[in-house]
Amino acid sequence: MVEYAVKHGVNFFDTAYGYHGGQSETFLGKAIRPFRDRVSIASKLPVWMVQSVEDCHRILDEQLKRLDIPYLDFYLLHGLARHFWEPVLTMGVLEFLDRVRSDGRVRHVGFSFHDDVKIFREIVDAYDWEVCQIQYNYYDESYQAGREGLDYAAQKGIGIIAMEPLRGGRLVDRIPEPIQTVWDSAPTRMSPVEWAFRWLWDQADVVMALSGMSSMAQVLENVDLAGEAKANCLTEEDRNVLRDVRELYRRMLKVDCTNCAYCMPCPYGVNIPMNFSLYNDFFMFEDPELNVMVYNHMLPDERKASACTECGQCEEVCPQHIAIIHDLKAVHETLSRG
């Protein structure tokens, strides 16, 4: 997959310290070694693990060792939010970024973000950032930083990288019938994947989409679609279709979980993303009894929503700021019947 992607124009690979249980950087380093001079590699500093500026240096050096490279093309503060921002300022993390740029371990710096647009503006204004990653897709146009934050950062000359362009696959997998009806009746015929990407590419200030390809078929499709990417590629009719789809999804989706799994592992064994997926599917698809059956008879008791002890650890790290404890109660109440 990596070889095909690079040979067909993919030149940016994004990873992080904790992805895949800490194995992502090691794997990427091995896979990308033959193509290192043709690609940029981005990784991220887990700010929630930092207690001092010495931690920053230690973690970065460990990441470079895992990747087996002398420098990172891009280094981002991972998942900035209001409750992480003050420690970043007081512990000297921004000065750390100055240092690693000057000593050559990092070429460009930025941040990824999960909070409201007010703190996003504050973070943008606080440092000479080069890039930022925001959750951005046609469903989340007004969510977190959203279009307002995108416009603000772009005016400052910051490169905008869109993450979750397909919302963890939720916008393209198992399309509900009312949504598919809208796609089928649209004057322009495109797959849901192409609709989602063209919505991003239509906006000139989006410089990159992290598509999260996880199969060879997705690599082939994404590469082909990206070859046709250009700003202002949608008609006004196309934009109206996407607006209609967004409103339909908003009426159907019960919990705004993207399956990012930042809440995992739960210390008590609850599979939080799985519970929310079953709950959303119960309302969005035509066979709700299937979800009831899976919850009651296939999901082990310790992984069910009912096993939640309300410790709150998951809510502290959820990028979507979901009221997980409250919503897990709703999951159990809905799916435990029968």
For residue range 203-218, list pLDDT tens digits in order: 999 999 999 899 999 9
Predicted confidence at residue 252, as pLDDT, reads 84
Q: Are residues 203 and 311 in the same domain?
A: no
Let me know how long the chain is: 338
State how far the alpha carbon of 324 is from the alpha carbons of 78, 170, 288, 303, in Å.
Answer: 21, 19, 22, 14
How far apart are the C-alpha atoms of 218 and 287, rounded to whole Å?
27
* Chain Cα centroid distance, residue 97: 23
Q: What local confidence, expressed as pLDDT, does residue 146 receive?
A: 94
Residues 220 and 323 reside in one and the same domain = no
Q: Is-cis flag, bond preceding 265, omega within 30?
A: yes
Tokens of 283: 């309302």
Listed residues 252, 284, 311: the one ending a domain: 252
267 located within any domain? no
In this structure, are 42 and 178 located in the same domain? yes
Q: In the prediction, which pLDDT does 287 show?
A: 64
Number of domains in the chain: 2
Residue 132 has φ and ψ, to the nearest 5°, of -145, 150
Asked if residue 236 and residue 168 are part of one domain, the reply reads yes
Kindly report the CATH number assigned to the domain that includes residue 222.
3.20.20.100
Judge if 173 and 278 occupy the same domain: no
In the prediction, which pLDDT does 338 show? Answer: 46
- 99 in any annotated domain: yes
Q: From the CA atom positions of the chain, what is the Rg in Å?
A: 21
Residues of the chain by 3-state class (helix, strand, coil), percent to 5: 50, 10, 35
Could you tell me if residue 257 is inside a domain? Answer: no
Do the domain assignments include residue 315? Answer: yes
One domain, residues 291 and 331 = yes
Query: Do 57 and 131 fall within a single domain?
Result: yes
When comparing pLDDT for 76 and 296, which is higher? 76
Position 196 confidence tier, pLDDT thresholds 50, 70, 90: very high
State the average pLDDT over residues 211-235: 93
Q: Same domain, yes or no, for 186 and 311?
A: no
Paired residues of 110 in beta bridges: 76, 131
Note the pLDDT of residue 259. Answer: 81
Percent of the chain with pLDDT over 90: 78
Q: Are strands 72-80 and 106-113 parallel, antiparallel or unpaired?
A: parallel
Choose the final residue of a domain: 196, 220, 252.
252
Residue at token pair 């679609």: 225
pLDDT tens string 5-55: 999 999 999 999 999 989 999 999 999 999 999 999 999 999 999 999 999
Bridge partners, residue 132, by sequence:
111, 160
Distance CA 14, CA 120 (A): 21
What order do you get walking across the sheet with 12-14 strand by strand? 12-14, 40-45, 72-80, 106-113, 131-135, 159-163, 206-209
Average pLDDT over residues 110-129: 95
143 has pLDDT over 90: no
Q: Nearest 5°: CA angle at 85, between 84 and 86?
A: 100
Query: How far does Cα 278 stand from its chain's mean position?
Result: 20
Pairs from 50-53 (Cβ < 8 Å, separation ≥ 24): 50/87, 50/91, 50/93, 51/91, 52/91, 53/91, 53/92, 53/93, 53/95, 53/96
Is residue 43 domain-resident?
A: yes
Domain check: are 222 and 305 in the same one?
Answer: no
173 plus 288 within the same structural domain:
no
Question: Mind listing the pLDDT tens digit for each residue in 241-275?
Answer: 999 999 998 888 889 898 888 899 999 999 999 89
Asked if 213 and 314 sit in the same domain, the reply is: no
Asked if residue 314 belongs to a domain, the reply is: yes
Assess whether pLDDT exceeds 90 at residue 173.
Answer: no
Q: How many CB atoms lie within 10 A of CB 110?
A: 23
Residue 145 CB coordination number (10 Å)? 28
Last residue of a domain, one of 252, 283, 314: 252
Decide if 9 is inside a domain: yes
In angstroms, the CA 138 to CA 268 distance is 35
Question: Is residue 180 assigned to a domain?
Answer: yes
Beta-carbon-side half-sphere exposure of residue 196 (alpha carbons within 13 Å): 25
Q: Which domain holds residue 219?
A: 2-252
Regarding whether 90 and 142 lie in a shared domain, the answer is: yes
